[in-house]
Structure 1
């Protein structure tokens, strides 16, 4: 999508602090962190939100979830929280599905 900020990050049109990348996903540091470690994992396929996932996306989403522990461990986290905001009413700001990976502190803000 030409107006999606995450698609522009994937295409290197907008810089990011990349933590991990392969042919399916990109992980980068959130620019407005809510915890000492706050990473965003996005698929390279544009999916607007969890509410718009189809059965065709099952393998990709399963893969993403299976990568979260590895990414968290690499970031030095022993425990972590994952969040997927869905829709405007669910707190989603960027309409490209993404998983927040947060940790590195005592109690997290939510």
Structure 2
């Protein structure tokens, strides 16, 4: 089984000049994450994980990335509940909204901010959008992800149930932030 750990790029490896012994230790700790950093070449190879969102973040899946920075990645939901349905995920593996720590409050706020920017970039109304996290155990992927759905007025009956605002299974970003 693959281990899901934060993304390390070759640029990061070069910038911190990791020693080969450290890379060997990392390989011992995370056998499904292989790092090579020799005097002649520097490269990073990440084997597929059991977490599909970690695979997307690490570009191991054929998924169009709509936005990416050092902390988060945005891509389309494979089962859209409306015309525009995106997922904003942290690059660092966090299992779900219940697993968040107080130190993650800034990340949660950033995820919502980026989701709203994506709506504006696509000329969609912020007022006719639904944002939220599925609350455990009601989640399909065990990697924190913020759903952004617009226009919510075009959501079908099933979508309205799955993404029902302030329900036991789908909670707002504000609720998640208030728990941190």
Instruction: Give the structure-1-normalised TM-score.
Output: 0.89
- Counterpart-to-counterpart distance in 2, 1:48 and 1:64: 15
Match of 2:132 among 76, 80, 83: 83
Residue 59 of structure 1 corresponds to 106
Deviation of 1:25 after TM superposition, in Å, equals 0.7
- Counterpart-to-counterpart distance in 1, 2:132 and 2:67: 18
CA-based RMSD: 1.4
Q: The residue matched to 1:84 in structure 2 has which SS?
A: strand
Contact 2:131 2:149 in 1 (8 A): yes
Contact 2:77 2:85 in 1 (8 A): yes
Q: The residue matched to 1:69 in structure 2 has which SS?
A: helix
Residue 11 of structure 1 corresponds to 58
Moved more, 95-104 or 69-78: 69-78
Higher relative contact order (CA 8 A, sep 6+): 1
Contact 1:40 1:100 in 2 (8 A): yes
Contact 1:37 1:75 in 2 (8 A): no
Residue 147 of structure 2 corresponds to 100
- 5+ residue gaps in structure 2? 5-48, 161-180
The total of aligned residue pairs comes to 108
Q: The residue matched to 2:153 in structure 1 has which SS?
A: coil
Instruction: Give the structure-2-normalised TM-score.
Output: 0.56
- Counterpart-to-counterpart distance in 2, 1:16 and 1:62: 24
- Counterpart-to-counterpart distance in 2, 1:96 and 1:105: 24
Residue 29 of structure 1 corresponds to 76
Greater fraction of residues in helix: 2
Structure possessing the higher radius of gyration over alpha carbons: 2
Deviation of 1:105 after TM superposition, in Å, equals 5.8
